[in-house]
Structure 1
């Protein structure tokens, strides 16, 4: 988590994939005529890139934000709760009811089973959950070259977990490849976007960079997944 906080000032400029993901989530709402929500809760809001895009495509009366760090968020909101979403039950937001709960590119950091249970209980009847995360092919080159196991779930695994509490309106995934001129630039991108899974465990040697360039031609794969759900009424 520390890496992400350190990267807060550089995040917006270095996360083209996350920006596209934010737009895709809004598109899913628009395509399903979902635009009017009384109360909205957005978690993992960071510097507000998704907040801004989401607030432009919906109408709302109340908007609550969360992140683990008190980022400056330029958007309109009622309250910003600074806490770890894995500790959601201990925060007063847990007692509130929402019509839309949304999150972009954050779920992969969290304990998904417990979280889905908690989010379902915070949604009103027919409430909507909208989120994106990353799939098992995310950073596949890093996994192979650094022999690291980064734990990501498949679309099917997440869909199965969701089906207990939610009706899936739409679930989709895509692969995005970012190409860099130099390997060092690629790792700089990871560091500046705060998603650097290597940070504490790994020393990037010249030999490692050379090998990465040879094997993967300085590409990095992102595997975004998108989910639009409605709370089961039973």
Structure 2
């Protein structure tokens, strides 16, 4: 996995991501509902929160305004994402400036979440639509336990094997998505899994070119290095339409969100 390329493409898409990433926004909103329902604790208990892979801050905003923590540490692989979250507090300045009017200290830290050490004593370690980019999720689960309080919560969403299967089947490129049962097994080695579920969402697009534009504007093209020549684009469009067209003439793109909420095992 070329994380340099991944970071570069997400950085380029930071101005269009929020507009295009409709499924990711819905996933973030659902994730918060699930955290409130299945974390086994009152939301006021989440005083210290770390979000890895914060991106442009869609989920960050939900965390801030729903849970109102004392501290919210935002992390992303792309240093450029700091400019997207610098005005996240309702008042009081940038993430480096300290408390907002609501009392939350919001900070940003760039870097690879698979390598960084996050603060110990964290109440909630969470992320939306990020873990699929990790090289070694199993090692991250093992490491993340030490950042959390003994009863701390790990809550994240990722994507499963059906995610964007249309693109993989036509180009041969895509991420190696883990299925729900494998993710659940890896998490359960270190945490008590309180909730695990998946869903499939199909988005309609006018044509295959619109699908590619959508992917570019959300930045999720980090594994594709080949150039799109006119001949390749024409062949791709014809195959995509033949295999994935709906009766109304539109084509589909599949998303496969997975939701996990787990509690740190007693030390």
Which residue in the other structure is 1:75 paired with? 88
Do the aligned partners of residues 26 and 34 (structure 1) sit closer, same or farther apart at CA in structure 2, a change above 3 Å counting? Answer: farther
1-structure distance, mates of 2:200, 2:227: 26
Instruction: Give SS of 1:105's match.
Output: coil
Q: Report the equivalent of 1:11.
A: 17
1:205 Cα shift?
A: 2.0
Q: Encode CA deviations 1:53-96: one digit per residue, 9 max, x unaligned.
A: 1222213111111011231203234321111112214xxx3x53
Q: 2:60 aligns with which of 42, 51, 55?
A: 51
For 2:69 and 2:253, the matched residues in 1 are separated by 37
Q: Could you say which residue in structure 1 is the equivalent of 2:236?
A: 208
Query: Aligned-residue CA RMSD in angstroms?
Result: 1.5
Contact 1:3 1:199 in 2 (8 A): no
Match of 1:63 in 2: 72
Any conservation in 2 of the 1:138–1:222 contact (CA below 8 Å)?
yes
Contact 1:8 1:47 in 2 (8 A): yes
What is the alpha-carbon distance in structure 1 between the residues aligned to residue 42 and residue 129 of structure 2? 21
Quote the residue 1:29 is aligned against: 35
Residues 17, 149 of structure 1: alpha-carbon distance in 2 compared, 3 angstrom cutoff:
closer
> Residue 26 of structure 2 aligns with which residue?
20
Separation in structure 2 between the aligned mates of residue 3 and residue 31 of structure 1, nearest angstrom: 35
What is the distance in 2 between the residues matched to 1:169 and 1:55?
Answer: 23
Structure 1 CA distance for aligned equivalents of residues 27 and 258 of structure 2: 8
Q: Which residues of 2 match residues 61-210 of structure 1 at below 5 A?
A: 61-70=70-79, 71=81, 72=83, 73=85, 74-76=87-89, 77-89=105-117, 93=118, 95-110=119-134, 111-148=136-173, 150-197=175-222, 199-201=224-226, 203=228, 204-210=232-238
Q: Please, what TM-score do these two structures have when normalized by structure 1?
A: 0.93
CA distance in 2 between counterparts of 1:104 and 1:81 reads 17
Cα deviation for residue 210 of structure 1 reads 1.3
Give runs of ≥4 in structure 1 deviating > 3 Å: none
Deviates more, 1:171-180 or 1:189-198: 189-198
Aligned length: 230
Separation in 2 of the partners of 1:13 and 1:113? 32
SS of residue paired to 1:87: coil
What 5-or-longer segments of structure 1 have no aligned partner? none
> What displacement does 1:150 show?
2.8
